[in-house]
Chain A
Amino acid sequence: MAVSRRDGGVGQDVLRRVGEASALILISLADGPKHGYALIQDIKELAGVELGPGTLYGALDRLERLGLIDPLPTEDRRHPYRITAPGAAALRVHLDSLERVSAAGRLRLRLGGI
């Protein structure tokens, strides 16, 4: 999947449309392939979010359809997934976008004296 560019060279944030679970899965896969149970445990640790198994599989299928992750050969009965190059690019764009919003929010809080 190509991560297209909009005006001003800012990449389009495709992850904004696919939901928080998908972004968390990509973040979890960024340091190496994982299967479902490992993903749930890792996301619980890194973000304090307990992904339901139904949500997990829905998000995995969506990310795979978008070409952002790839299934690896099955180990036992488990399907590990890895992040693809377009997935990594989409994650970078998403994290950049979050950082911009976060910085703007902090600045406004300072300006507002809150």
Chain B
Amino acid sequence: MDADRATRLIETVLRCYPARWRHRHGEEAAELAALLMRDGTPAGSVAWSYLAGAAREWLTPRPGRHLTAVACALLVAACSLGVSAGLLASAAPARAASTSQARGRAHCRPGSPGPVPGVTPATGRPQVIIWEAGHGRSC
């Protein structure tokens, strides 16, 4: 990475810090990054350290920062829920298809301890294995 790009990267990462932090440490932090890179520290490593520091800075509770912390927590929770809902939605049709196939197949034996040898899942669909109270049923 050339010096200009590295400098721009560091400047971008330093903008992730709260304004109060930038006002206090911003100039020194940019100079420190330049010195470390001059000494051979990779720009990516310096940028990553500052990025992690910025995340910690935002997440560290301080007076007046309670709402921000709550907003971050809510954002993370909402993202997790969204991802979970998306995964469930994409898995549901496959599960329904597998269940309907199971009803019509003679080799679905209750009590079988695991997947039936030789049975391959439907093409393009994940194999669904249902375990019910210790009795495996593979379809």
Contacts and interface: CB of A to CB of B under 8 A. Distances in A.
A63 to B, nearest CB: 14
Interface residues of B, number: 22
A50 B41 CA distance: 10
B100 interface: no
B28 A36 contact: yes
A37 B32 contact: yes
Contact of B28 (A40, A54, A61, A78): A78
Interface stretch (B47-55, B88-96, B112-120): B47-55
Contacts, number: 52
A61 B21 CA distance: 10
Interface string B35-49: 110000100011011
B139 interface: no
B107 interface: no
B33 A53 contact: yes
Interface of A: 35-37, 40, 50, 52-58, 61, 77-79
Interface of B: 21, 25, 27-29, 31-33, 35-36, 41, 45-46, 48-54, 56-57
